[in-house]
Amino acid sequence: MVQIDSPIKRHKEYELVTPVSTNLEGHYLSHILSANHKKRSTRDVSPNSEQLFFNITAFGRDFHLRLKPNTQLIAPGAVVEWQEISPAPGNITDPVNDRQPGSASERIWKTEPLQTNCAYVGDLMDIPGTSVAINNCDGLAGMIKSHDDEYFIEPLERGKQMEEEKGRIHVVYKRSAVERAPIDMSKDFYYRGRRL
């Protein structure tokens, strides 16, 4: 049994799809989507060799994605840091703000290079004025913006890059259908009235 923190649980209206990698004309190349897949299939050798093309069918329409590397998103040499915050001994923190300067110490416990070869931007080939932003480090994850709505796509399961040859299921959902949880803004405000 596979336990998934599924995007399905968070959205009212969605479709399960299997995107495919295509050439410029939209002809099937493979089911391989992820940039880091070791057995990467040979792409269309053409002047558009840096471009990627994917087809996604959802909500009764075909999305023909034309993507190019997004070189402006991530700086070369960027890293991701995971930090651990531990309270400093003898200091009492403000319960409203949780932390005051000098009340806790931060320790970096993990650092790794940020992958820069997975971020793409583009459009839908057959619809002018659209935009697409996709990350393909682990399947396709991102947004497709058209005139009528915004669509989000993400893999149903993470970490399945090595199993893409037969197709990988993704979830597509509309922004308009995203269930919005009520926001508790009380933590953002602190009344500094007189104490009695």
Segments in the chain below pLDDT 70: 1-12, 36-49, 87-104, 179-196
CA of 15: how far to CAs of 140, 141, 149, in Å?
A: 14, 14, 15
pLDDT of residue 158: 86
Residue 194: CB atoms within 10 Å: 4
State the residue for tokens 């087809």.
55
- 50 backbone dihedrals φ, ψ, rounded to 5°: -80, -15
Query: What is the pTM for the complete model shown?
Result: 0.66
Say yes or no: 28 and 85 in one domain.
Answer: no
pLDDT of residue 44: 41
Say yes or no: 46 and 126 in one domain.
Answer: yes
Say yes or no: 127 and 36 in one domain.
Answer: yes
pLDDT of residue 42: 44
Domain of residue 102, residue span = 79-111
Number of domains in the chain: 2
Residue 69: CB atoms within 10 Å: 17
Tell me the pLDDT tens digit for each residue of 63-81.
Answer: 999 999 998 888 888 888 8
Say yes or no: 101 and 86 in one domain.
Answer: yes
